[in-house]
Amino acid sequence: MKIRKEVTIGIVVVVAIGLLVVGLNYLKGVNVFSQPTVYYGIYERINGLEESNPIMINGYKIGQVQDIKILNDGSGRLLVSMMIDKEISIPRDTKALLKSADLLGSMQVHFILGDSTLMAQSGDTLTPDVEGDLVEEVNAQLKPIKLKAESLISSVDSVIRVIEIILNAESQQNLIESFNGINNAIASLERTSFRVDTLVAEQRVKINSIFSNIDNLSTTLSQNSEELDNIIKNFSQISDTLAKADIATTVVNANAALAEVQQITEKINKGEGSLGMLINNPDLYKKLESASNNLDLLVEDLRVNPNRYVQFSVFGRKNTKSVELSRAELEELKEYVNSEKEDSDSE
């Protein structure tokens, strides 16, 4: 039986259409000869996500976005169907993150695998997440720069105000005077430095001698360290002895002795006792002085005229001649005897 030409054309067209559908689905990433795995995600916003955008795991494409619909619950949320054409086990707590694929604004779904031991099944809804879009990222990066720029502008304004204040006539004069003062101070420092250098140069020998003496002193101290240790130990022993001594009792006894001395001094000042009468009675002092003078005269007369008081003979013969006193001497001796008697009676 001969096939008609129209049937042949129809078969060719149908095959061509089938191949076209298969090719288009293949280009879209849909395998019409296998049953795909579909997951869902519900998002508040998708930032320009479109159908056929890739689904990636660690940079490896495992599927594509199959469909995007708005939920009919009035919330405005979006239901995204994600078709996986690879035989990959996805944990149930995997996160479906919407993120930018390039700088042109293309989006993709990035699966961040969880650590659950339960695997997601076809038709499960994954945890949605949305990365900030390019504008938000740029704003987030530019915000610190903006704050720093505002702070810098504020600082520049403050500097400009200060410059304006400095540039007035009074401030300029003050600056000139300040700089002159600084120059004078620097010149004074230079002169002082020159004088110090000159003094050091002039006194170099003395300075060397001083350092030499210090060196000798340190050497002496080093050589006599044992003696110094003994001296320090002796001082330590003295301090220990003083600490153990009954200083309080000694002070009390000293105070008592001073009190007694004060009492004796008061009695002497009042004329009590022999010493007090001797110090405070001028008549007694005069009489003692007169008696001393008379005693000096008597001794002098005894030296000059010993025969008046002592008689002796070489051969044992007594000299019976009496000693005669002059009238003046008798009067003086009488006055002396009377004064001595009056002194004894007054006592």
Rounded to whole angstroms, how far apart are CA atoms 100 and 111? 13
Per-residue model confidence as pLDDT tens digits over 154-165: 888 888 877 777
Instruction: Report the share of the chain in percent with pLDDT over 90.
Output: 9
pLDDT tens-digit readout, 67-99: 999 998 888 899 999 988 778 888 999 999 998
Per-chain mean pLDDT for the chain: 78
Is there a domain that residue 114 lies in?
yes
Whether residues 123 and 109 share a domain: the answer is yes
If one compares 346 and 268, the residue with the highest pLDDT of the two is: 268
Phi and psi dihedrals of 260, rounded to 5? -65, -40
Q: How many CB atoms lie within 10 A of CB 245?
A: 10
Q: Output the pLDDT for position 79.
A: 92
Residue 54 domain flag = yes
Give the structural domain span for 115: 36-132
pLDDT of residue 337: 62
Judge residue 49's burial from the number of C-beta atoms within 10 Å of its C-beta, 0-12 exposed, 13-18 middle, 19 or more buried.
Answer: buried
Answer yes or no: are the C-beta atoms of 97 and 82 closer than 8 Å.
no
Share of the chain above pLDDT 70, in %: 73
Identify the residue with better confidence: 346 or 9: 9
Considering only CA atoms, which of 100, 97, 126 is closest in space to residue 109? 97
Q: Could you tell me if residue 107 is inside a domain?
A: yes
Instruction: Write down which residue in 78, 107, 132 finishes a domain.
Output: 132
Question: Residue 53: which residues within 8 A CB-CB, separation 6 or more?
Answer: 64, 65, 101, 106, 107, 108, 109
**Span 301-313, pLDDT tens digits:** 776 676 666 554 4
- Phi, psi at 326, each rounded to 5°: -75, 165
**Residue 197, domain member (yes or no):** no
Going by pLDDT thresholds of 50, 70 and 90, the confidence category of residue 333 is low
pLDDT score for 334? 67
pLDDT tens digit string along 221-252? 888 888 888 888 888 888 777 676 667 777 78
* pLDDT at residue 69, as a whole number: 92
Residue 142 tokens read as: 């530019």
Cα distances from 210 to residues 102, 195, 220, in angstroms, run 82, 20, 15
